[in-house]
Amino acid sequence: MSCIRKLRKRTKSQEFVYQEQCKIVAHENGKRIGLEGDPDLQFLLNGGDLLKVKSRSWRKTRYFRLNEDLKTMWQETSKTFKSNSGCLYFRPGSSWPKASDQTSLSAICQTVAASSLSCMYVIKKTRTKQNQRILVKTPDISRETLWSFSLEDVDSVRYGRQTDGLRKYTDSSVEDRCLSFIFKGRRKNLDLIASSKEEAKKWVSGLEKTKSWIYNCMRKADKNADNKMSLKELKHFLRQINVEVDDSYAEMLFKKCDTSNSGTLEGSEIKHFYDLLTYREEIDVIYKKYATSNGQMSSADLLNFLQIEQREPVSLDYAQKLIMKYEMDETAKQNKYMSKDGFLMYLNHEDGSIFNPAHKPIYQDMRQPLNHYFISSSHNTYLMEDQLKGPSSTEAYIKALMKSCRCVELDCWDGPNGEPVIYHGHTLTSKVLFRDVIKAIKEYAFKTSQYPVILSLENHCTIEQQKIMAHHLTSILGSALLTQPLGYQMPTTFPGPEELKGHFLIKGKRLNKLDAAFNNNTTEDVDSVSEEDEAAELKEAEQKPKEKTAKKIKLAKELSDLVIYCKSVHFSTFEHSRDNQAFYEMASYKESKAMNLAENSATAFIHHNMDKLSRIYPAGSRTDSSNYNPVPLWNAGCQIVALNFQTPGKEMDLNQARFLPNGKCGYILKPEFMRDPASQFDPKCLTVGPWLQKKTFHVMIISAQQLPKINKDKQSSIVDPQVRVEIYGVPADNASKQTHHIDNNGKCQQCIYTYAFYQSAELALVRFVVEDYDAASHNDLVGLYTLPFTSMQNGYRHVPLLTKRGSLIPSAGLFVHIMVLDAK
């Protein structure tokens, strides 16, 4: 390329002015997100050196800092290159010769300018979807690499050695200095080591503070980055948050808020504009109806609203506590009344949520036998994607455990150097060390729930490597691994989750009966057992009927002895299990077999599960790691209904809903009629009994707020919302009804009723699905929320919305009215 222009360096005075301007920009942006003067934010803006880790041998020091726009992270490093001819001079901040380069490199130029590099040579420039790079040379210093990434691409920032890379390539001595950027999608993690524990924590806490959804939309709309918003920029901002407004109305509001008559809005003026625009008529109507004390809602008025509309049997004292909790106006608090703003605050928070806050903590009896609970369970836990060629990773175990999964699967095979590995056998899935998986499980098992974790072993290893497995289990898990039954005599039933808190249970083959652990009886010991597992079933399916034989596998006593309450056995019939198998002997069922039993022998299956544990797993033909519907299996009392946690969809939504209450601890107590030996409950044929609770369910979809845009590439794209309400439970209760779609209305205001009739409320799940209606193709998912029927609150309620992967969509939600009545 030819030389464009050669410039002089900035003088000291010019540099001083420039740096002051940068500080002002950062200060204004900090004010916008409520971090004015925040020391963590200032630390990020100053930046510092971090050690970047890619392997044991690749470790390089890089300088990182947060750009003044508070949305971009920069990495800088110096490199030495041989002389390069044909270089290009450019002025930082100026446009490039090619129009296609102009946008992608403008931010880089500004950051180069902040580094006081007024004249430089371009050595190399590249651009990818995630980041931008440019190599430059200045007359005064060595050539530098500048690399950026957007904080919007960062899913989370983790403190400590919490990724595969850091655990593999670093020692435990640097645990409190490590941090990692976890990116969205399939982009690799960025693993770093700070110079001190304090600095590592500052990086993590500071970055967490800067992730603000509304602010991200504002700064996207502020095209010229002057921290002021013109009417055009405000319209762009409103489209980002899915608020459509008439041009003349927007202009009228804009002039009303522009108190400085500057032609732009800034600071509180922007907030005022947003508040006026997002005024909700339905809230105004409800408030005026009950605010009978001179237009204000007194504590007595609020009590009437709670008792009449919300159908809550509460006292005046409770109403006054809500005022103290949600009212922002100090005068209103002192006079014990709730303003309209406080009322809206109440409706948009926990007490106004559709989910009953009384069900948020652990509220169920946790001392019942283990088999009396539904247990959140994962299949092929080690996989991040499909089961043919997807990667295996400890990260998959971490994600499942952080979702309170209480039963994880370990598919174990012989590995190199005498170390067992975990992967999906006979496929192209990658391998992960058994030892590393156990370490990750130990670290994360009890972060979200203290109740026991079951390790379901699919053992394909030789005796030698089975002994290594047993060694890793005992040495890594230590006293948390249950190696003896609780108590001093042979148990006849399971202990409860409360008794097993903080413990790991091994599910697998055992060479002898459990009572051998008490009487030291080794006469039953053999060195092989029947291979009754998923792999065996797949092999049998490929064989001709006459060739089917009970395959034997060698089993190490060291591993066998670790199996206490979850001994894997073959299922023949319910009668055979009742007469010949102990309570701790459990079977695993392929989904088709389990569905058949649930369909044709539901009552017998329910009684079987009153004494024993049952584990269900997806068919091997699901090579894409899809899932089956878990509800019919729960209806049959099955406890360990294992799903592919890595695969989002309706089935995982239902699983997330089933385990939403009770502190999200991963254990839900089954209804009493599924635990009573005298019960004759049959989900297909509902005779009179305690399970028959006829209810009428009325739901009115009133409005929606801040639905996210689906097609972000189209500037004019506004969601055409359509809401569907689905019921999942016993067959008689399954239902689905939906509203009419509303064209170009991100607020979704409508009054559509859905009626549903319930037979067995304790097993029912309610699913709200919001879609972007499209007459020509399949509707796009906007958001969804699922919860147990018995955890719903009556009255005017806020329904939060989640993404298809179960993450909360900030600020988005439905406003509904719920009424559940006893059916006549």
Give me the chain's average pLDDT, please.
Answer: 81
Residue 197 near residue 204, CB atoms below 8 Å:
no
Furthest-apart CA atoms within the chain: distance in Å: 94
The lowest-confidence range among 7-21, 571-585, 646-660 is 7-21
Torsion 804-806-807-813 (CA) sign: positive
Task: Find the catalytic residue in 27, 236, 372, 379.
Answer: 379
Place of tokens 């925040």: 38
Contact status, residue 278 vs residue 813, Cβ threshold 8 Å: no
The pLDDT of residue 3 is: 32
Q: Tell how far CA 680 is from the center of its chain.
A: 38
pLDDT at 209 over 80: no
Q: Poorest-confidence range of 384-393, 446-455, 726-735, 812-821? A: 384-393
**Using CA atoms, how far apart are residues 356 and 661, in angstroms rounded to an integer?**
9
Residue 445 CA to residue 502 CA, distance in Å, equals 8
Determine the pLDDT at residue 117. Answer: 39
Residue 640: how many CB atoms within 10 A of its CB? 27
What is the predicted pLDDT for the residue at 386? 67
Q: What is the mean pLDDT of residues 583-603?
A: 95
pLDDT band at residue 572 under the 50/70/90 scheme: very high
Beta strands 640-643 and 373-378 are: parallel
DSSP output for 410-452: EEEE--GGG--EES-TTSS---EEHHHHHHHHHHHTTSS--S-
| Cα–Cα distance measured from residue 380 to residue 386, given in angstroms and rounded to the nearest whole number | 10
Which range, 249-263, 356-370, 427-441, is most confident?
Answer: 356-370
Q: Which helix (H) or strand (E) element contains residue 131?
A: strand 131-137
What is the model's pLDDT at position 68?
A: 80
Confidence at residue 218, expressed as pLDDT on a 0 to 100 scale: 64
Distant-in-sequence, close-in-space partners of 762: CB < 8 Å, separation ≥ 6: 671, 691, 693, 789, 790
Across 287-301, 356-370, 512-526, least confident range: 512-526
The most confident of 84-88, 767-771, 778-782, by mean pLDDT: 767-771
Specify the domain boundaries for CATH 3.20.20.190 within the chain: 370-485+492-510+530-540+552-674
Which residue is associated with the tokens 């990724």? 163
pLDDT at position 755 is: 62
pLDDT at 768: 96
Under DSSP, is residue 587 helix (H, G, I), strand (E, B) or coil? strand
pLDDT over threshold 60, residue 129: no
Fold classification of 12-211 (topology level): PH-domain like (2.30.29)
Alpha-carbon gap, residue 558 to 555, rounded angstroms: 9
The token duo for 389 is 């060629």
Return d(Cα 713, Cα 706) in angstroms, integer. Answer: 18
pLDDT digits (tens, 9 = 90+) for 82-115: 433 333 333 333 333 333 333 334 444 444 444 4
pLDDT band at 237 (very low <50, low <70, confident <90, very high): confident
503 catalytic, yes or no?
no
Burial 526-561 (b: 16+ CB within 10 A, else e): eeebebbbbbbbeeeeeeeeeeeeeeebebbbbbbb
CB 134 within 8 A of CB 109: no
Cα dihedral: 598, 599, 602, 606 (round 10): 10
Report DSSP state, residue 38.
Answer: -
Tens digit of pLDDT for each residue in 367-420? 999 999 999 999 999 888 766 667 888 999 999 999 999 999 999 999 999 999
Range(s) for CATH 2.30.29.30 in the chain?
Answer: 12-211
3-class DSSP string for 288-315 = HHHCCECCEEEHHHHHHHHHHCCCCCCC
Task: Please compute the mean of the pLDDT values over residues 632-660 and round it to a whole number.
Answer: 96
Residue 653 has pLDDT above 80, yes or no: yes
Q: Under DSSP, is residue 743 helix (H, G, I), strand (E, B) or coil?
A: coil
| Amino acid in position 514 | L
**In 3D, which of 618, 616, 549 has the Cα closest to residue 587?**
616
Q: Distance between CA 552 and CA 526 in Å, rounded?
A: 11
| The pLDDT of residue 150 | 80
For residue 357, the tally of other CB atoms under 10 A from its CB is 13
Query: Where does the pLDDT of residue 778 fall: very low under 50, low under 70, confident under 90, or very high at 90 and above?
Result: confident
Q: Which amino acid is at 748?
A: C
Quick one: average pLDDT of 752-777? 81
CATH architecture for residues 214-277:
Orthogonal Bundle (1.10)
**C-alpha distances in angstroms, 355 versus 264, 307, 361, 726, 777?**
41, 17, 12, 16, 33
Is residue 340 classed exposed, middle or buried when 0-12, 13-18 and 19+ CB atoms within 10 A define those classes?
A: middle
Confidence at residue 438, expressed as pLDDT on a 0 to 100 scale? 97
For the four alpha carbons of 799, 803, 806 and 808, in that order, the dihedral sign comes to negative
Instruction: Tell me the average pLDDT across 59-80.
Output: 79
**Beta bridge partner(s), residue 568:** 586
Q: Is the pLDDT confidence value at 195 over 90? A: yes
Tokens of 355: 């989910």
Q: Which CATH architecture has domain 370-485+492-510+530-540+552-674?
A: Alpha-Beta Barrel (3.20)
585-590 and 453-459 strand pairing: unpaired
Does this model's pTM top 0.85? My answer is no
Integer Cα distance of 542 and 553 in angstroms: 19
Q: What angle do CA 638, 641, 647 make, to 5 degrees?
A: 160
401 within 8 A of 665, measured Cβ to Cβ: no
The residue from 359, 372, 424, 472 that is catalytic is: 424
Sign of the CA dihedral running 409, 412, 417, 418: positive
The lowest-confidence range among 141-150, 201-210, 512-521 is 141-150
pLDDT-derived band at 685 (thresholds 50, 70, 90) equals: confident
Q: With 60 as the cut, is the pLDDT of residue 34 above it? A: no
Nearest to 701 by CA among 822, 821, 813: 813
208 has pLDDT over 60: yes
Residues of the chain with CATH 1.10.238.10: 214-277, 281-352
Count the neighbouring beta carbons within 10 Å of the beta carbon of residue 182: 16
**Proportion of the chain above pLDDT 70, given as a percent:** 75
Mean pLDDT of 640-658: 95
- Write the CA distances from 142 to 58, 137, 403, integer angstroms: 22, 6, 48
Name the residue among 719, 633, 721, 688 with its Cα closest to residue 239.
719
How, if at all, do strands 72-79 and 88-89 pair?
unpaired
User: What pLDDT does 532 receive?
Assistant: 52
Q: Does the annotation mark 460 as catalytic?
A: no
CATH code reported for the domain at 281-352: 1.10.238.10
Crossing angle of the two packed helices 39-46 and 197-209, in degrees rounded to 10:
100
> From CA 68, how far away is CA 233, in angstroms rounded?
20
Return the pLDDT at 403. Answer: 93
Q: What is the pLDDT of residue 805?
A: 86
pLDDT band at 359 (very low <50, low <70, confident <90, very high): very high
Yes or no: domain 695-822 corresponds to CATH 1.20.150.20: no
748 has pLDDT over 60:
no
pLDDT exceeds cutoff 50 at 732: yes
674 touches 637 (CB < 8 A)? yes
Per-residue pLDDT tens for 515-539? 887 776 544 445 666 555 554 454 4
- First vs last Cα of the chain: how many Å apart? 84
Q: Where are the beta strands (DSSP E) in 497-606?
A: 504-508, 528-530, 552-554, 563-568, 585-590
Residue 606 has pLDDT above 90, yes or no: yes
Query: What is the Rg, in whole angstroms, of the alpha carbon atoms belonging to the chain?
Result: 31
Mean pLDDT of 755-783: 85
Q: Which residues contact 428 (CB under 8 A, 6 or more apart)?
A: 388, 389
CB atoms within 10 A of CB 672: 12
**H or E element: which one contains 611?**
helix 602-611
3-state secondary structure (DSSP) of residue 622 = coil
CA 308, CA 753: separation in Å to the nearest integer? 20
Specify which of 283-292, 426-435, 550-559, 713-722 reaches the highest per-range mean pLDDT.
283-292
Instruction: Return the residue matching tokens 């958001």.
Output: 783
What is the predicted pLDDT for the residue at 138?
A: 44
pLDDT, one tens digit per residue, over 434-489 is 999 999 999 999 999 999 999 999 999 999 999 999 999 999 999 999 999 998 88
Q: Are 618 and 643 in contact (CB under 8 A)?
A: yes
Gap between the Cα atoms of 760 and 674, Å rounded: 12
How high is the pLDDT of residue 656? 96
626-637 burial code (b ≥16 CB/10 A, e <16):
ebbebbbbbbbb
